[in-house]
Structure formats: structure tokens, C-alpha cells
């Protein structure tokens, strides 16, 4: 049996761009991707702390150090520049993997840089 678990999270990043004309995705500063282990094209769930909207999309790599959190395509209608978002990825783990897994979590500062990096305790 597999369990679905949090793989990684970017907590309280600030949306810097919304582009509804773009084909889709969320563009994330590659420094944040590196810190969490998130990858280009990976599916993510985005929770908007301001509007309470949630949406799924996939990751595009942004310029390192840019602080970009750019919501593209139809999802851009569900958030706004300046909104705070939580970006989460999930994985499927067997019992042994689940017992050892430690999700990587980035707490963002006001400029979408790593303020703090934590790893949750195993389940």
C-alpha cells in the first residue's frame, strides 16, 4: 500500500507576476526549487492565503535570485500580485519510505528568498 505524503513546500511566498495570457504553470525562482528539491514540470498544489483559492499547476524554473513567483494561464485569475501563497508537492510512499521521509519546507522572507529551511520529522 502507498500513502500520499507531503514531498516539499514553499511557505508564504509572495506572487510577483500574474500572466493569464501565458500557456500555464507557475514560475518559481530556481533557488527555491533547489532548496526544496522541486523540479521543472512537477505538479504542485497552490493555496492562496489571501483569496483562499486553491489550484493545481506545474513548475517552470525562474531566474535564480529573482524572487519570482509567477502564476500563469487560467490560474492567474485565481490569485493576484502581492498575494501570499503556499506551494506544495506530494509523493506516494510505501510504509518503509513513509517512516523515513522528511519533507523539505522553505519559509520565505518578504523577497521570496529562503528565510528558513526546515525538514518535518518522519511520519
Range of the domain at 69: 3-119
pLDDT at 23: 83
Task: Determine if the pTM surpasses 0.85.
Answer: yes
Question: What amino acid positions are annotated as catalytic residues?
Answer: 25, 58
CATH code for position 109: 2.40.40.20
| Residues written for the chain | 123
Write 41-48 long-range contacts (CB < 8 A, 24+). Answer: 42/89, 43/89, 44/87, 44/88, 44/89, 45/87, 45/88, 45/89, 45/90, 46/71, 46/75, 46/79, 46/85, 46/86, 46/87, 46/88, 47/85, 47/86, 47/88, 48/78, 48/79, 48/83, 48/84, 48/85
Q: Are 68 and 19 in contact (CB under 8 A)?
A: no
116 vs 123: CA distance, rounded Å? 21
How many structural domains comprise the chain? Answer: 1
Residue-wise pLDDT tens for the chain (123 aa)? 999 999 999 999 999 999 999 988 999 999 999 999 999 999 999 999 999 999 999 999 999 999 999 999 999 999 999 999 999 999 999 999 999 999 999 999 999 999 999 999 886
Residue for grid cell 498575494: 83
Amino acid at each position: 500500500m502507498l500513502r500520499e505524503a507531503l514531498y516539499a513546500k514553499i511557505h508564504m511566498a509572495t506572487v510577483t507576476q500574474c500572466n493569464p495570457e501565458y500557456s500555464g504553470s507557475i514560475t518559481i525562482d530556481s533557488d527555491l526549487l533547489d532548496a526544496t528539491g522541486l523540479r521543472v514540470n512537477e505538479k504542485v498544489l497552490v493555496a492562496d492565503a489571501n483569496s483562499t483559492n486553491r489550484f493545481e499547476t506545474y513548475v517552470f524554473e525562474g531566474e535564480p535570485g529573482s524572487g519570482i513567483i509567477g502564476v500563469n494561464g487560467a490560474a492567474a485569475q485565481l490569485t493576484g500580485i502581492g498575494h501570499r501563497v503556499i506551494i506544495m508537492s506530494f509523493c506516494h510512499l510505501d510504509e518503509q519510505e513513509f517512516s523515513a521521509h522528511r519533507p523539505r519546507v522553505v519559509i520565505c522572507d518578504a523577497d521570496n528568498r529562503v528565510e528558513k529551511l526546515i525538514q518535518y520529522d518522519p511520519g
